[in-house]
Structure 1
Amino acid sequence: MRQPPLATLGWMAFLLFGSATPGWTAPRVEFTAAAAQVEVYDFAEVAIRVQDPDVANPFTEVSVRAVFQADGQEPIPVDGFCDSPDGRVFRIRFMPVRAGRYRYEIVYRQPGLERTYGGSLQAVGSNRKGRLRVDPQNRWHFVWEGTGEHYFWNGTTTYYLMGWDDETIRASIDRLHRLKINRLRVLVYGRNNPRPWGQPVVPTENFKLHLNPWPAQRPDDIKNPGFDLNRFNVEHWQKYERLLRYARAKDMIVSVILYIGGQVLPTPFEAGSEQEDLYYRYAVARFAAFSNITWDLGNEYNFHRKAPEWADAMGHRIKQWDPYKHLASAHNVTHRTPKSTWLDMQLIQRWDSGQNAYMLGQRRAQEQTGYIIPQINEEYGYEDLWEKHPGQRAAETRRKNAWEIYMAGCYQTNGES
């Protein structure tokens, strides 16, 4: 039986007052301490509330950072994030991966003001499955870190799951869970026209084919939404977190796909720009404390970024920002260069027949690098899509492909048209 949510465990408040200077009164900063006890692989959260915030942009002008440390262990740096458009609410989350007492110190900074707060919490053992890791005993495969159980990857593609309302998202996760699906590919950002790739998918009042992680002047304009890339649409991010929580309760991994290539306005920011780093770092600060995620830096990023150089650079930054070092990859480029040490698994795309021989070849190529990681065919042709003749991509041929991939000692992600 899972413990009640942290919010019900009895939180306490701590007030800090800024010192006055001529012509300026510092805003009051309130820290709401984390629960005194948290389960391993759950997360503790400290809320920071700012009365009368006075910065022009809280997403770029304020930083919230913390260090958590258990006795005898290395300190763990963690980023916080702004959780309100006006800068009144910030949060910082910490997921303990081992039991013990942790002390922490949080620093809130804005121009002309710095406030600190310290506390402690007790992490207790649990039956949570924890993070997904590469099996150290057999690096072609995966284990749940919390229980040591092997993880048999059985994924599916749900790019625009965030286009639905919460009720439909939960119902979809329930359905896939009943079908023994244990990994979902879910976009944080994407935009597409009706009937993408000739498929019978159209927006309705209840479903959107465009996602808005930034505030937009024209949120329903597919090609020209007028994003403010220096701020974030916190309601969108909060909704994604609800999806993560619901999937986590069912021990389902979510591949956090940060953008998708080949669509309308795939990358509203320039490669290597401040806005790109701001987006990726904000995603890590918000989502990293969820135990049930992996990172996909960009689905088919090579359409818009130089491969593998862009992924090698961004992958290392993600690993630097992520205190929990969740598994990371980028569909569908194979990364086998010496600079790809950030990579934890190959997310491959290769359609249709001959899967066994092809995936065995991928294993051999990986083995030659001296760095063994799991091989996953993340896209091998969607059921009934773009058939050259009736039945070419029927359910039976998809089943055979999946079987061939598994028999090569690899894994697969199916998709629904």
Structure 2
Amino acid sequence: MGTGSVLWGVLAPMASRCRSVPAPICRRANPPWSLTILVVTLLSGVAQTIAAANCDQWGRCELKLTGPATGNPFVDVKLTAEFTQADQRITAAGFYDGDGVYRVRFSPPTVGEWSYVTSSNAKQLDGQRGSITAAPPTGDNHGPVRVARQFHFAYADGTPFKPLGTTCYAWTSQPDELQERTLETLAAAPFNKVRMCVFPKRYTWNENEPPSYALEGTPPDQWEFDRFNPEFFRQLERRIDQLAGLGIQADLILLHPYDKGHWGFDRMPAEADDRYLRYVVSRLAAFRNVWWSLANEYDFMKEKEESDWDRMIRVVTDADPYGRLTSIHNGFQIYNHTNPRLTHASIQNGSAAEDPGRAVLYRDAYRKPILLDEIKYEGDIPKRWGNLSAEEMTHRCWNTIIAGCYPTHGECYLADDDILWWAKGGVLKGQSPARLAFLKQVLDNAPAAGIDPIDKWQHPRIAGQPGAYYLVYLGKQSPEEWYFVLPKHGLEDGMRFRVDVLDAWNMTVTPIDGEFVVKQQTPYLFADENERTVPLPSRPYQCVRIERVEKSE
């Protein structure tokens, strides 16, 4: 095809195979991708359909066009495409991908036929028309993750999503072999979200140069802030797709302070920041497993004012046609997460995770989902934030869940090769991930509505769904028994419950014989009608799980 041709590649993540298409379009990944092509030939400026094409709802469709390659196409050429279906209209920004190639990516939110038309200040790219058909989603495609029930998350199809994340800041800035090892580790780990940076990180135990850079220029600090490196972004996209194949959300950190001027990505002028953010969003917004995190420890970037962050949050959310999850992460000064453009609060506060009664306060303050994304790290480095025991990391994650929030794991064990998971990835060395896999099983088996505080001011260690499901986490206490008593909410005399004792550290489940039948004891509490207690093993990190038994059982 000549320079006036349009090529549609429809990427359907998690599909079973890759159909026979031209090699430059069909890239084999692990797991495989399904790829369908819609070819349109322009005859005298009129688009003529050659073959129909289907793509999955919430999948990723890509319009590829040939246009100007001279001057600076990153700045000089504007390109958008409007996709319409009935009364739905979605405008997606295109981007320059080098060598005269322009792309527009689209993720259809509903099934059925979508028509499109392009708009551009470049004649070759303007006014191209066509249509695609979005088929029902297949495989593990549940759509993007969204806020659900105010404090929780679910995929677009309603399937609950309960974040249990990890931090691996600069894993995509490492050699390919190490990146592959990180993916192998994640495939066997319990984590379903990864906090990761676009830009490289320069800090103790992480001072190597990356294989490539997001901007054109001469390393380490001579950059053309108006020219991007498409090959860098293609590699990043490949890794994001591989995370999707593992069922992992990419919590993408767009800016961070751990540069210290070495590269200068932490102190770009405002117009460069905004141009970079728009370019990233134009490339990645159609990836259904991408979340936006404006910054890691935003307040440590002293060259920027809080008003700059207000502006950049607006830039990202205005550029994103799909409303992907968006946050900003703090160092010492917590950002005002009441900003309606932020979908959830990403908090650094290790002490908040030491007790559920502390963490729960953030829910009341911001009234949206709370992710305690940095509760310190399991490890042995000589930094106060990076030497938690595995027991303490596990304990803090349980506390966070009981508070109705969601935790993020991290690991910093010293190594001769300076490969620490928190920065570079590689392999996990700690003992908490296995325990967090046990916690994930507990969460997966909990009600779809999620874990919520039930009587937060009086009984902060009891959470669940009133009258139906309870987790009573006893933390570092080591009692011989627990007196069966629950807050009154949702309870009536005669309700029956079964009980298991969960050992959060030893990862065991011990069923307790018989059923517990509740009777109101005080104006605020219900207890077992026979005043039964739950026997415990006299060691810490025990949790009593209580589930309603329906009469039919």
TM-score (norm 2): 0.63
- Structure 1 unaligned blocks of 5 or more: 19-29, 367-371
Q: Which amino acid aligns with 2:143?
A: G
Name the residue aligned to 1:105. Answer: 117
In structure 2, distance between residues paired with 1:34 and 1:274: 42
Counterparts in 2 of 1:392 and 1:171: CA distance versus 1, 3 Å: closer
Name the residue aligned to 1:141. Answer: 152
Write the mapping of 1:27-66 to structure 2, written as runs, cut at 5 A.
Answer: 36-50=53-67, 53=68, 55-66=70-81
Name the residue aligned to 1:169. Answer: 179
- Structure 2 unaligned blocks of 5 or more: 1-13, 19-24, 27-34, 413-553
Name the residue aligned to 1:186. Answer: 196
Counterparts in 2 of 1:90 and 1:35: CA distance versus 1, 3 Å: farther
Q: Which amino acid aligns with 2:406?
A: Y
How far is 1:115 from its partner?
A: 3.0
Counterparts in 2 of 1:34 and 1:145: CA distance versus 1, 3 Å: farther
Contact 2:346 2:370 in 1 (8 A): yes
How far is 1:272 from its partner?
A: 6.4
In structure 2, distance between residues paired with 1:108 and 1:392: 53
Contact 1:31 1:47 in 2 (8 A): no
Larger radius of gyration: 2
Name the residue aligned to 1:316. Answer: 314
Answering whether residue 389 of structure 2 is matched by residue 412 of structure 1, we say no
In structure 1, distance between residues paired with 2:393 and 2:383: 15
Name the residue aligned to 2:133. Answer: 122
Name the residue aligned to 2:432. Answer: none
Name the residue aligned to 1:241. Answer: 237
Superposed CA deviations along residues 278-331 of structure 1, whole A, max 9, x for unmatched, are: 100000000000000100111112222556433222212211110100010111
Name the residue aligned to 2:341. Answer: 342
In structure 2, distance between residues paired with 1:396 and 1:307: 39
Counterparts in 2 of 1:292 and 1:31: CA distance versus 1, 3 Å: farther
Name the residue aligned to 1:24. Answer: none
| Matched residue SS, 1:409 | coil
Name the residue aligned to 1:21. Answer: none
Worse overlay, 262-271 or 392-401: 262-271
Contact 1:65 1:108 in 2 (8 A): yes
Counterparts in 2 of 1:32 and 1:78: CA distance versus 1, 3 Å: farther
Return the match for 1:301 from 294, 298, 302: 298
Q: Which amino acid aligns with 1:175?
A: T
Contact 2:379 2:387 in 1 (8 A): yes
How far is 1:386 from its partner?
A: 4.4
Write the mapping of 1:254-333 to structure 2, written as runs, cut at 5 A.
Answer: 254-265=250-261, 268=265, 273-304=270-301, 306=304, 308-332=306-330
Contact 1:103 1:119 in 2 (8 A): yes
Q: Which amino acid aligns with 1:282?
A: Y
* Higher RCO, 1 vs 2 (CA within 8 Å, ≥6 residues apart): 1
Write the mapping of 1:315-394 to structure 2, written as runs, cut at 5 A.
Answer: 315-332=313-330, 334-336=334-336, 340-352=339-351, 354-366=354-366, 372-386=367-381, 393-394=388-389
In structure 2, distance between residues paired with 1:235 and 1:217: 15
In structure 2, distance between residues paired with 1:54 and 1:39: 32
In structure 2, distance between residues paired with 1:141 and 1:294: 15
Superposed CA deviations along residues 193-241 of structure 1, whole A, max 9, x for unmatched, are: xxx34x4x453xxxx45861001212xx3xxx20111000111100010
Contact 1:31 1:117 in 2 (8 A): no
Alignment: residue pair count: 377
Answering whether residue 145 of structure 2 is matched by residue 132 of structure 1, we say yes
How far is 1:155 from its partner?
A: 0.6
Return the match for 1:153 from 151, 163, 176: 163
Counterparts in 2 of 1:56 and 1:402: CA distance versus 1, 3 Å: same
In structure 1, distance between residues paired with 2:403 and 2:249: 23
Contact 2:197 2:253 in 1 (8 A): yes
Contact 1:155 1:184 in 2 (8 A): yes
Contact 1:155 1:181 in 2 (8 A): yes
In structure 2, distance between residues paired with 1:278 and 1:124: 34
Contact 2:118 2:129 in 1 (8 A): yes
Name the residue aligned to 1:81. Answer: 95
Contact 1:280 1:318 in 2 (8 A): yes
